[in-house]
Amino acid sequence: MPLNPAFAGRVYPATAPYLVGREKIREFAAAIGDTSCDTDDDPAAPPTFAIALTLRAEVEVVSDPELGLDLTRLLHREQRFEHRRPITDGDELTVTVTISEVGRVGGTDMVTLTSELHTVAGEHVCTTTSTLIAQGDD
């Protein structure tokens, strides 16, 4: 079953706020081999830390059975980050996901998700773009 093209442009409600903590930043940095977060001098998270928040929100979106994405055949094709400022210890962030594009190329389903991270006060911190593909049923 091909993806439902009516989902293009759909915006999902913002997630519950996530409080960024110093320990979470350190754990993430250690997982990716970034040693710059070993001191308390810089409260900034690695640029890819945003994925720790956006991935949860995006999984809920692509798991919607009405979208029609076969999660057993899912591959992460591309990920981009555009920061307005670094994510830092003490930030309280929400994620709003938009399905930017839904398509099919040569039997492969493609969906592009744009996730915006904002502080609870409304400051835009980061935008991520994820392109996912899944081999469709022919």
42-61 pLDDT, tens digit each? 679 999 999 999 999 999 99
Contact 50, 124 (CB under 8 A): no
| Domain at 30, CATH number | 3.10.129.10
What are the tens digits of pLDDT across the range 64-107? 999 988 888 888 899 999 999 999 999 999 999 999 999 988 88
- pTM higher than 0.75: yes
Contacts of 75 (CB under 8 A, 6+ apart): 132, 133, 134
How many domains does the chain divide into?
Answer: 1
Contact 88, 28 (CB under 8 A): no
| pLDDT at residue 70, rounded to an integer | 87
User: 76 lies in which domain range?
Assistant: 5-135
How many other CB atoms sit within 10 Å of the CB of residue 17? 13
Contact 8, 114 (CB under 8 A): no
Q: Which two tokens stand for residue 2?
A: 């091909």
108 burial type by CB count under 10 A (0-12 exposed, 13-18 middle, 19+ buried): middle
What are the tens digits of pLDDT across the range 101-134? 999 888 899 999 999 999 999 999 999 999 999 9
* Residue 138: pLDDT over 70: no
